[in-house]
Amino acid sequence: MKNILEIRDLIVGIDSIPPTWILREANLSIGEGQIVGLVGESGAGKTMVSRVILGFTPEGSRVFGGEIHFCGSKISDLNRDSRPFLLGKEVTYIPQNPMTALNPVQRINDQMTDVLIRYLQLKPRDATKRAVSLLSEVQIHDPEKVLKLYPHQLSGGMRQRVLIAIAFACNPSLVIADEPTTALDVTVQKEILGLIKRMQSSHGTSMLFISHDLGVVSKICDVVNVMYGGQVLETQEADALFSAPSHVYTKALLSATPRYDRPGDLLEPVSDRLVTEMGKTILSWDKRAEACFYK
């Protein structure tokens, strides 16, 4: 299988002395048509991976080592303008919080058709037609009416549907979904997950699905990457990861997550010993890296 995106041993840090390391030799690949999950606790570097791909890294950050490949072409820096793809057309984004992600002073129609007009050169009228069909694809009833509304007139779930429709509008090759269900309540969450999965398979898109929720990831992803401290600790097919995790941290995470299929199991918090252990590993990596880049 061809890979849409490959990240090899990527080291990214904020250029200070000593540097603040954000990604420590992270590896990740996204195969064509796959949904690749990226899980980890806050601060693990999940969002940074998505920002590196999109070209929105914090000020002063720099690539210290490693490679990023998109469809075979190498991306050597973090500069947005040097991306070998059209942002918003070939690579799109589903944000975390649908309540604040739409422009409050623009009608839904204008927020959906702008990319269609910009990238597919559609006439406004044809773009609106396409927006109508996109909205029915994300199961919004009466799409013509919704197009005339402003974001504040829609519920959170409706807004997330609109954002998903925008993300898939130009048939992108990669969609990055950054915790797309975290801000929604559980019943809506399930519908939205199903919807994302359907959209992804009907558009044949590859997807990077970022979440801190193992349960959510297990439902939707083909491959799961577990991140900690800027490193990808384990990459496994979703089924294998949940039945036979290989890394101690993954095991610890799984035994800390409630499971519907095994309701009697006791939950176990991630032990302090393990956290200290992993902290030590990271610290020794940092020492090696500093020795490497600054001497």
Q: H/E element holding 285?
A: helix 272-294
Closest CA to 98 of 152, 135, 46: 152
- Answer for which of 21, 70, 93, 228 binds other proteins (CB under 8 A) is 93
- In DSSP terms, 77 is beta-bridged to none
CB of 56 to other proteins, least distance (A): 7
Residue from 95, 143, 230, 245 that binds other proteins (CB under 8 A)?
95
Which residue in the block uniquely carries the two structure tokens 């109508």? 132
Among the listed residues 14, 71, 87, 248, the single contact to other proteins using CB under 8 A: 87
Residue 64 vs 93, nearer CB to other proteins:
93
121 binds other proteins (CB under 8 A): no
**Residue 54 interacting with other proteins (CB under 8 A):** yes
Could you say whether residue 248 binds other proteins (CB under 8 A)? no
107 or 247: CB nearest other proteins: 107
- Record the tokens describing residue 26, joined without a space: 């992270």
CA distances to 13, 58, 189, 295 from 18, in Å: 10, 17, 41, 12
Contact between 92 and other proteins per CB under 8 A: yes
> What residue type is assigned to position 240 of the chain?
A
Out of 10, 101, 132, 184, name the contact with other proteins by CB under 8 A. Answer: 101
Query: If we measure between CA atoms, which residue out of 4, 5, 40 comes closest to residue 23?
Result: 40
Sheet with 3-14, edge to edge strand ranges: 20-31, 3-14, 61-70, 73-75
φ/ψ of residue 178, rounded to 5:
-100, 100
Which of 8, 69, 118, 219 lies at the binding interface for other proteins (CB under 8 A)?
A: 118
Q: Does the footprint of other proteins cover residue 117 (CB under 8 A)?
A: no
Task: Based on the shown chain and the rule CB under 8 A, indicate whether residue 148 belongs to the binding site for other proteins.
Answer: no
The Cα–Cα gap between 94 and 289 comes to 34
- Of 11 and 112, nearer to other proteins (C-beta) is 112
- Where do contacts with other proteins occur on this chain (CB under 8 A)? 54, 56, 86-89, 92-93, 95, 97, 100-105, 107, 114-115, 118-119, 150, 152, 163, 166
